[in-house]
Amino acid sequence: MKEIVVSCLGGAIERARASGQLKSNPAAIGIEAPKDPAHGDVASNVALTMARAEGKSPRAIAEIIKVASELPPEIAEISVAGPGFLNFRMTPAYWHAEMVRAMGEGARYFRPQKWELRPGGGDRVQVEFLSANPTGPVTVGHGRNAVLGDTIARMLEAAGFNVTREYYFNDGGRQMKLLGESVRARYLQDMGIDAPLPPDGYQGEYICDIARELRASRGDNLAEGENLELFRAAAVEAIFADINRTCDRLKIRFDRYFNELDLIKSGKVKEVLDALRKQNLSFERDGAVWLRGEPLKLPKDAVLVRSGPDREPTYRTPDIAYHIDKINRSFDLIIDVFGADHIAEHQEVIAAVKALGHDTSAIRAIIYQFVTLTRAGEKIKMSTRKATYVTLDELIDEVGADVVRFFFLFRKSDSQLDFDLELAKKQAPENPVFYVQYAHARLSSVFREAEKAGIDFAASGGRANLALLGEEEMALARRSLALRPVMTAAAEALEPHRISFFLLELAGEFHRYYNQPANRIIGTDRGLTVARLFLAGLIKTAIAAGLDLLGVTAPERM
């Protein structure tokens, strides 16, 4: 549709220039979907943008373009409106053809349309998300990361890009040592030995579970000696299994798990440190190695390698090596999904990678704000170290995977997300998930009724006379078809919430239509019934396609 209008406008401007009525050439022909349906199907503001160069009023320019345009068969009408907009209305035949095409292609029609990631083409995308270290069950906060990352991957995949989903983690290092010590303490306590939890140790109940399981499988002989490595490994294995189980419930999977330890073992971290030193971007102080903040335009210096006998790198050093590794794997787009608390660290990493001469232009950071849980209007306090947080599993248990996914995708990532448990559990219209799913279930029910009435929609579908549909019905059809450009815009902006909001609107429009007695889909007029079933099928397909992309089920009945 856009293409048709742009080429129509382009031709008109060309002719107007040839005849001397216009002298300038617009930098771009802007096209938009008007908010108000009275303004047609597509609008363009070219006349407004040309006003300055032409020295004429926008309306006058719009008139010139209008007169000079030759309408293709798909465009019914072109008009000048408001301050100088050019509004286009497509012919019913055009819309009917789109409807037939959408029904023919099904969900495929609604997939985001592929665009160029880079000037030279290229379609390799990497999405790194979740990346929670295996120190405990994933929390509600991680949930937003997981669902956001997975859905962005889904959108890009649907658009036809080659997507790698990656989970970056660290199972060595300091926190892991602490984890092992915590399990050991619980193990001994389980045997009745008075062993204190290390200071800052992990207090969660899951540590006790792991200790008990270890005791069940290995008996009491681990009490002799330290065995810290064994405790740590057992904990990591159990926790990772747990994380993967939780992800499965949300239909989230990864193609690759990338271990920070491999970067250290392979010498890549050392290479980074050497390169930084060589370029005088690092220095030693207090026995530690620091990243120089000033030349990188960072607010302060940051530690790369800790002091002490172990010379352990901090988190950011391997992360620099990791990002260089990503760039070297020549992805055309690299997406990092992380919470607002990691912004500073990410800036340091990118600045260092850039300073080392790597092109960071393919990296896009998706930063999401925090999640708060509300129950009956009261905020639930969450602390990870104490066992007061709510795990993602518990959240799924309480409200279900569909609701968890939809709620996390019902805010733009820049906004803080208030997860209202009461609302989430309600199977009522004020709960957006159920509102949308209900529309799908209702539509499914219509087709069940049609079958009962002996109407074989599949056989007659291709012959539906769409000209029988009224204006309200065509508006509903156009709205359904609009899912496609919305999908594309959402994928391109990496903003899945646009799809959620669109689905809510589409569902609302359908409910409104459905509730009017005059709009009974199955009626006595066979031709009209078939046409309306065609429309119902279109809406149903659109809703299902949208929900599917969000990883939410589209139920046939509820």
Q: Per CB under 7 A, which of residues 499..538 are in contact with RNA?
A: 501, 504-505, 508, 511-512, 514-517, 519-522
Only one of the segments 45-53, 111-119, 121-129, 226-234 lies at the binding site for RNA (rule: CB under 7 A); that segment is 45-53
Nearest to 336 by CA among 321, 324, 325, 346: 346
Only one of the segments 81-89, 152-160, 324-332, 469-477 lies at the binding site for RNA (rule: CB under 7 A); that segment is 81-89
Tokens standing for residue 179: 């984890």
Given 286, 359, 378, 471, the residue binding RNA (CB under 7 A): 286
Question: Can residue 49 be called a binding residue for RNA (CB under 7 A)?
Answer: yes
Question: Can residue 341 be called a binding residue for RNA (CB under 7 A)?
Answer: yes
- Provide the minimum distance between the beta carbon of 550 and RNA in the complex, in angstroms, as a whole number: 15
Cα separation, 253 vs 247, in Å, equals: 7
Given 303, 455, 468, 475, the residue binding RNA (CB under 7 A): 303
Only one of the segments 141-149, 156-164, 446-454, 537-545 lies at the binding site for RNA (rule: CB under 7 A); that segment is 446-454
236: left (phi over 0), alpha (psi -120 to 50) or beta: alpha
- Provide the minimum distance between the beta carbon of 352 and RNA in the complex, in angstroms, as a whole number: 14
Question: Can residue 418 be called a binding residue for RNA (CB under 7 A)?
Answer: yes
Question: Can residue 30 be called a binding residue for RNA (CB under 7 A)?
Answer: yes
Q: Are strands 302-305 and 288-291 parallel, antiparallel or unpaired?
A: antiparallel
- Provide the minimum distance between the beta carbon of 178 and RNA in the complex, in angstroms, as a whole number: 8
Q: What is the DSSP letter of 70?
A: -
With respect to RNA, which residue has the nearer C-beta, 43 or 421? 43
Given 101, 108, 174, 381, the residue binding RNA (CB under 7 A): 174
The sign of the CA dihedral 187, 190, 195, 197 is: positive
Site string for RNA, 447-466 (x = CB under 7 A): -xx-----------------
With respect to RNA, which residue has the nearer C-beta, 214 or 405? 405
- Provide the minimum distance between the beta carbon of 207 and RNA in the complex, in angstroms, as a whole number: 17
- φ/ψ of residue 274, rounded to 5: -60, -45
Cα separation, 394 vs 387, in Å, equals: 13
- Provide the minimum distance between the beta carbon of 474 and RNA in the complex, in angstroms, as a whole number: 17
Cα separation, 335 vs 329, in Å, equals: 14
How buried is 63 (Cβ within 10 angstroms: 0-12 exposed, 13-18 middle, 19+ buried)?
A: middle
Cα separation, 227 vs 230, in Å, equals: 5
Cα separations in angstroms, 258 against 144, 328, 338, 364: 21, 15, 16, 19
How buried is 460 (Cβ within 10 angstroms: 0-12 exposed, 13-18 middle, 19+ buried)?
A: middle
Residues 189-248 that bind RNA (CB under 7 A): none
The H-assigned helical ranges of 417-482 are 421-425, 432-452, 457-460, 471-481
- Provide the minimum distance between the beta carbon of 342 and RNA in the complex, in angstroms, as a whole number: 5
Q: What is the CA radius of gyration of the chain?
A: 29
Tokens standing for residue 254: 């990864």
Given 5, 9, 43, 547, the residue binding RNA (CB under 7 A): 43
Question: Can residue 344 be called a binding residue for RNA (CB under 7 A)?
Answer: yes
Question: Can residue 315 be called a binding residue for RNA (CB under 7 A)?
Answer: yes
Nearest to 148 by CA among 545, 554, 499, 484: 499
Residues 127-146 that bind RNA (CB under 7 A): 133
Only one of the segments 121-129, 214-222, 264-272, 280-288 lies at the binding site for RNA (rule: CB under 7 A); that segment is 280-288
Given 17, 215, 277, 412, the residue binding RNA (CB under 7 A): 412
Query: For tokens 């569909």, what's the residue?
Result: 402
Only one of the segments 122-130, 203-211, 243-251, 337-345 lies at the binding site for RNA (rule: CB under 7 A); that segment is 337-345
With respect to RNA, which residue has the nearer C-beta, 251 or 412? 412
Question: Can residue 120 be called a binding residue for RNA (CB under 7 A)?
Answer: no
- φ/ψ of residue 90, rounded to 5: -85, 155
